[in-house]
Amino acid sequence: MDWIVDAPEKKVVVMTGAGISAESGIQTFRGANGLWENHRIEEVASPIAFRRDPVMVWNFYLQRRKQALSCKPNPGHLAVAELEKWITAAGGDFLLVTQNVDGLHTRAGSKHVIEMHGSLMMTRCIACGQVFPDERTEMALPPRHNCTEKGLLRPHIVWFGESLFPGDMERIESAIEKCDIFIVIGTSGVVYPAAGLVNFANSLGKRTVCVNKEAPANVELFDIFIQGEAGKELPKRLFPRENKGGNGK
């Protein structure tokens, strides 16, 4: 197969994980030098951790925000954004579901995106629940919101032990129900519910494709596994370009 997305397939759902941002210089979570090798998840990425030590957790995410802002989208992110343009221009439906919180997909030009694990560029008040864009990088202490309760602000991230944001799972499942193809890129396939979406797509008879540097834990669930780096594989293989000499071939 030359292309992942073929001409008749106009309804596409893509799901990405940390692997797609690796070539931008953002650490993945698992494996050698992964973020979770140097941090205990329950000490930085859980509601209990934030209650116990809000300053430490706030600073952990502040450092990650600074890092993400200093990185640029790579050819993998750009190819996904280009695929969306192509599908949209052809009158199809496209949804990008990302587990990443680094904002690189939107900076690459992706429009229809669900950030299912939240965003480093958003903050939420623990008292009133208001969510707002926040790219500030110089606040060593978690600030208080100016609502009547003066609630502490926290990263708008889905931590371990928390549910996805209301409505996200319904929107994701509804897009998969309607899609022709479900493409999963750069994720180890161990964190649920994201890792289980391929089962859902399979149960509906959808075509499922995985692009990953190493075989993920759930590799046998995909119709097709393409082993390689997203930034190299996607520009060549995600969809056919009109201009044979141009970008990505």
- 3-state DSSP percent of the chain in helix, strand and coil, to 5: 35, 20, 45
The full length of the chain comes to: 249
Residues that bind ligand OAD (CB under 6 A): 17-19, 22-23, 28-30, 34, 45, 99, 117, 158, 186-188, 191, 212-214, 216, 229-231
- 112 labelled catalytic: no
- Of the pair 30, 236, the CB lying nearest ligand OAD is at 30
125 Cβ contact partners less than 8 Å away, ≥ 6 residues apart: 145, 147, 149, 151, 152, 153, 154
Q: Report the C-alpha gap between 99 and 49 in whole angstroms.
A: 21
Catalytic residue among 77, 117, 145, 156: 117
Nearest distance, CB of residue 148 and ligand OAD, angstroms: 30
Nearer to ligand OAD, 19 or 235 (CB): 19
| Smallest distance, ligand OAD to C-beta of residue 150, A | 27
Task: List own/partner pairs for 126-133 with CB under 8 A and 24 or more apart.
Answer: 126/151, 126/152, 126/153, 126/154, 127/151, 127/152, 131/156
Nearer to ligand OAD, 26 or 176 (CB): 26
- Looking at the Cβ atoms of 34 and 240, the one nearer to ligand OAD is 34
Half-sphere exposure of residue 176: CA atoms within 13 angstroms, side-chain side:
26
Smallest gap from residue 10 Cβ to ligand OAD (A): 25
The residues that bridge with 144 in the sheet, in sequence order, are 152
- State which residue has the least CB distance to ligand OAD: 19
* Residues classed as catalytic: 117
